[in-house]
Amino acid sequence: MENHYTISPVADLGTIDYSDSLTLQRKLVERVRTGEIGDVLLFLDHPPVFTVGRGKRQENYVGVDVKETERGGDVTYHGPGQLVAYPIIDLERNKINDVRKFVHLIEGVIITSIEKFGYFGQVGEEPGIWVGGKKVASIGLAIRDKISFHGLSVNISEEVLDGFNRINPCGLKPETIGFVKIDREDLKKELRSSFERSIHPFTEVNADYFDRMK
């Protein structure tokens, strides 16, 4: 149930440095926790970057500089040709009392969204979505004070594959990574709609909305 004192903002941040986005997420987790704002949904792209989570295995990213994060999972890549979404959601307030349930919700959001464009996704052995034997979307979450951050990424063009070829993403062979050819704006709209059906409506704001927060 949405906090009735505040709006739940959704924004497209465009291309933003990974470290800057992480700083923003951590700030927003605290704002959501205190009720200053409602749940937040961020869409964005990252310049090329490799990140590792709590399940990191160094043999999967030999010779590659990485940024360490508190999300789950091993090494992954973000860069051009990919749409990223970070849902910063108060799980308790939304009566999502199981992190696994939230992962399944996100899986459903992705599958429902890409199906609109003729792609039929399936859940793999690890969190993520597969199409035609290729992993096209990844999920990596962190939870702090029962509030989620980090999130999901969907590969939407062949351009993103070069980065994945430098690592064993989540311990997989690089050639298992694929993409769905979907316009970024069209996919963003579908993902937002699916999140709103699964959680609650969001109010669109400009990226500078968050700059005004102390």
Predicted pLDDT of residue 125: 77
User: For residue 1, is pLDDT > 60?
Assistant: no
User: For residue 78, is pLDDT > 80?
Assistant: yes
Predicted pLDDT of residue 62: 96
Lowest mean pLDDT among 85-89, 131-135, 205-209, 210-214: 210-214
Predicted pLDDT of residue 213: 73
| Fold of the 9-212 domain | BirA Bifunctional Protein; domain 2 (3.30.930)
List 11, 52, 170, 182, catalytic entry? 170
Q: At 214, is the pLDDT very low, low, confident or very high (cuts 50, 70, 90)?
A: low
The two tokens of residue 117 are: 């464009």
Taking the domains of the chain in order of start, what are their residue ranges? Answer: 9-212
What's the pTM?
Answer: 0.94
User: For residue 15, is pLDDT > 70?
Assistant: yes
User: For residue 40, is pLDDT > 80?
Assistant: yes
Please give the share of the chain, as a percent, with pLDDT higher than 90. Answer: 92
Predicted pLDDT of residue 2: 43
User: For residue 202, is pLDDT > 60?
Assistant: yes
pLDDT in tens, 93-150: 999 999 999 999 999 999 999 999 999 999 987 779 999 999 999 999 999 999 999 9
pLDDT in tens, 157-199: 999 999 999 999 999 999 999 999 999 999 999 999 999 999 9
State yes or no: is 170 an active-site residue. Answer: yes
User: For residue 4, is pLDDT > 70?
Assistant: no
